[in-house]
Amino acid sequence: MIGRILPKRHSTGERGDNLEILQIISRVARSIRQGFDQQSANEIASAAKEVLDAQAVVVTEQDRVLATAGNYPGLAASAHIQAAAVLDRRRTKRPTLYQASVEGQQVEVAVAVLTTDGVPRGTLHVMPKAGSESRIDELKEFAIIVSSQLELAEIEQAKAYAAEAELRSLRAQISPHFVHNALTAIAGLIRTDPDRARSLIATMAAFLRSSFRTQTELTSVAAELQLVEQYIELEQARFENRYEVRLSICPEGLPVQVPYLTLQPLVENAFRHGLEKRPGRGKISIIAENIGPEILIHVEDDGVGTDPDQLQKALAGTSSTPHVGILAVDTRLRSQFGPEYGLTISTNRDAGTKVTIRLPK
């Protein structure tokens, strides 16, 4: 009688080896996400040496050596020459072999081309250990993985550029509207409350200096909150303190880094698309929480809200929305910190909107 047939289980050692390889590839993917440079090339070389059990590895960008793993200067010199020849022949489908002089001996080296969208970006040269054969098929698969990550990195970079352009476009479109309304509010105070009018002019000058600068690097949450407070002060003057504003920021959140102009567009979205459209008084809260290795920042209003399905389609790129500031911030966060760090939005018609940002410390 034949009993149940059970699948054969891998040995503990084999599972451990597989897990280690996956961890190595994951590390390489994270590094490449920041672009193809010397740092990511070092990760690629180190990972290839370990995964392919090689004696030495060289990574080039075109014919320029970016990184090596294993101290064999002769291999690097040969790779520098061979890279140009391989790229000229555009042998991108399968790794090829060539002879290199390393420490006075002729050794066989396998080279694979790294590509993005079919265009050669660099090469990966692998020298096997003494007595071992070149692992062509495994090198081919490893090169495919690296190339796919390079393509994803380029896509992310393109999205980041698009988000920056969209944010600059957004500022160009809405700032004249905001400036006009703020100046009108200040003009109305010149006779009735000249001291406050002068204070608001200084606030507006500081706000415009910050919001129109071309800086696109990271800044601190503290600096972003300063911009937010200036914006809120000007809006409160315009609407005669019609809105109740609550700020509760944990001290741990102040030095955390964020892309420039992350919080202010979310607050502006809450005013323009939420609070302005509801009758009577409104509330907006900005809260930062310390959660282990991360900071959570919530921007919440009790305005008119929006259709969640429509907003989800807009975030997915399949529909348009007036909330373009939110879309730009979401794209920039994902590009800077990874896909897990985009915005989380809770909203519905006549139910307000809550936008949450997760930031790594």
Q: Are residues 355 and 240 in the same domain?
A: yes
Q: Are residues 117 and 210 in the same domain?
A: no
- 3 lies in a domain? no
Q: How long a stretch of residues is the chain?
A: 361
What's the domain count of the chain? 2
Amino acid at 20: E
CA distances from 116 to 84, 109, 311 (A): 17, 23, 32
Q: Are residues 147 and 197 in the same domain?
A: no
Rounded-to-integer distance, Cα 1 and Cα 164, Å:
69
Q: Are residues 231 and 146 in the same domain?
A: no
Q: Are residues 212 and 332 in the same domain?
A: yes
Give the pair of three-digit tokens for residue 24. Answer: 């190595």
pLDDT by residue for the chain (361 residues), tens digit each? 333 433 444 444 555 566 777 777 777 777 787 778 888 899 899 999 988 889 999 999 977 899 999 888 889 888 888 888 888 777 678 898 998 888 888 889 999 999 887 888 899 999 998 878 778 889 998 898 888 888 888 877 777 676 666 666 655 555 667 788 888 889 988 888 999 999 999 998 888 887 766 555 688 999 999 999 999 999 888 888 788 999 999 999 999 999 888 898 899 888 888 888 888 888 999 999 999 999 999 999 998 888 787 777 766 655 555 556 678 788 888 878 888 888 888 888 888 899 999 999 8
Q: Are residues 354 and 207 in the same domain?
A: yes
Final residue before a domain boundary, out of 134, 155, 176: 155
- 136 lies in a domain? yes
Q: What is the reported pTM?
A: 0.55
Q: Are residues 201 and 101 in the same domain?
A: no
3-state DSSP assignment of residue 228? helix
Environment class of 54 (CB within 10 Å of its CB; exposed 0-12, middle 13-18, buried 19+): buried
Helices (H), the chain: 12-32, 38-51, 73-89, 136-189, 194-211, 221-238, 263-270, 308-315, 324-337
Q: Are residues 31 and 128 in the same domain?
A: yes
- 95 lies in a domain? yes
Q: DSSP letters of 56-74?
A: EEEEEETTEEEEEESS-HH
**Residue 309's domain is classified under what CATH number?**
3.30.565.10
Q: What is the pLDDT, as a whole number, of residue 93?
A: 80
Q: Which domain holds residue 325?
A: 190-360
- 240 lies in a domain? yes
